[in-house]
Structure 1
Amino acid sequence: MTIYSLYIYDRHCACVYYHDWHRTKPPRVANEGGGILPAVSHQIYPRKDGAALDTNPRNTLMSSSGIIVAVNDEVPRTPLPGATQQVPANAGLPFDEEAKLVYGVVLSLRNMVKKISGKDEGFVNYRTSTYKLHLYETLSGYKFIMLSDPNADSLRFVMRQIYAGPFLEYVVRNPLTQMDSKESGIDNEYFRTSIDRMIRGLSVFN
């Protein structure tokens, strides 16, 4: 059993945080104008320089012409003429479409559960043959969504710990973080590092 990914949505239905661990299909870079906030994740925000997507930061062969270009890792790359974005063969949907689909599924299932079962019954998870989706919603409207192995037990307690621990400590109580600004995701490396450490320490992670 393992954990695949974590999404956090705010009260405006916008994805403000994303983290993955064991995905077989990595997300593609979000489309320009797709509505994805900056700082949601380092790997899915559109590249402003138009440079080719390169999974190896030290790869110096920039084109099929055989021209070797010296690259400094700290300097933004300038794409060669005719360079196109290289997308891994097993890459999934662009992240902006993926984030909308995940939120749409949760919203639809939650509304269906409320209509069928009444107000006392809440939607907390569902399972398919390949994954299990877990939902934890806070009173302030934030939705924590986690995808895991289909045989995993409920992970609501994990998302509750994330909310009561790193989220309150590094996001809510951080005066430098603008809540509901609609301008940026959760740009806090302490928060990201704390979540990564917490998830990797779970027995279900391996």
Structure 2
Amino acid sequence: MTIYSLYIFDRHCACVYYQDWHRTKRPRVAVEGGILPGVSQVIAPVKSMDASAAVLGSTISSPRNTLSSTSGVVVAVGDSAEPQGNALLQTNASPASSSVAPTGLPFDEEAKLVYGVILSLRNMVKKLSGRDEQFTNYRTSTYKLHLYETVSGYKFVIFSDPNAESLRMALRSIYVGPFVEYVVRNPLAEMDSKERGLDNDYFRAGVDRLIRGLAVFN
């Protein structure tokens, strides 16, 4: 069993955070303007050659963008480095190598599909089961989606192996732990600006440690 990827959506339906671990395919980068800046360097929009070269030079010299895990998965936010990530909704996943080519949808389209799925299923559950019932997860033959929604409208979504137990409490731990500590209590984080994702190295590192500490991770 393993964990594939994590998405966080704000109350404006925008994806403000993305991180992956055991994806077997890499999402293609988003089109420019398709996602908020700072969501993740794995899916940052393609820029011009000159701009990319300038960004590359600045990020190499910046210690802010050198934070990484022991497995080689980049956990810092930036606009340059070649993504170490891997692909959505895949089973038989193994840690991806940097040589895996992007073959999926552009990330902005992928994020819209993920949000559309959870919104549709949540509304269906409410209509069929009443207002007291909550949609928390669903399973297919290749993956399992887990959802935790906060009172403020943030939606934490994680994809895992289909045989994994419910990870709703793990998502809640991300919310009450790193999210509250490094985002909610951070006076510099504009949570409702509609202009930027959760560009926070401490939050990204905290999420990475928490996910890697789960028994289901490996």
When normalised by structure 2's length, the TM-score is 0.77
Whichever of the two has the greater Rg, that structure is 1
Runs of 4+ in structure 1 off by over 4 angstroms are 87-90
CA distance in 1, matches of 2:160, 2:140: 11
Question: Who is 2:88 aligned against?
Answer: none
Q: Which amino acid aligns with 1:41?
A: S
Matched-pair identity in %: 72
Q: Which amino acid aligns with 1:116?
A: L
Question: Who is 2:202 aligned against?
Answer: 190
Q: CA deviation at 1:201?
A: 1.1
Q: CA deviation at 1:92?
A: 1.0
Question: Who is 1:203 aligned against?
Answer: 215
Please list every run of 5 or more consecutive structure 2 residues that lacks an aligned counterpart in the other structure.
62-78, 81-98
Aligned length: 179
CA 115–49 in structure 1, closer or farther in 2 if over 3 Å, else same: same
Instruction: Name the Cα RMSD after superposition.
Output: 2.3
Q: Give the helix-richer structure, 1 or 2.
A: 2
Question: Who is 1:6 aligned against?
Answer: 6
Please say if 1:45 is aligned against 2:44: yes
Q: Which amino acid aligns with 1:27?
A: P
Please say if 1:27 is aligned against 2:45: no
Question: Who is 1:108 aligned against?
Answer: 120
CA distance in 1, matches of 2:163, 2:111: 23
Q: CA deviation at 1:45?
A: 1.2
Say whether the 8 Å CA contact 2:32–2:47 is kept in structure 1: no
Cα displacement string for residues 107-130 of structure 1 (whole angstroms, at most 9, x for unaligned residues): 000001111111111100000000
CA 11–120 in structure 1, closer or farther in 2 if over 3 Å, else same: same
CA 139–72 in structure 1, closer or farther in 2 if over 3 Å, else same: closer
State the SS of the aligned residue for 1:8. strand
Question: Who is 2:158 aligned against?
Answer: 146
Please list every run of 5 or more consecutive structure 1 residues that lacks an aligned counterpart in the other structure.
58-70, 78-86
Give the 5 Å matches for 1:20-169: 20-34=20-34, 36-50=35-49, 74=60, 89=101, 91-169=103-181
Q: CA deviation at 1:166?
A: 0.2
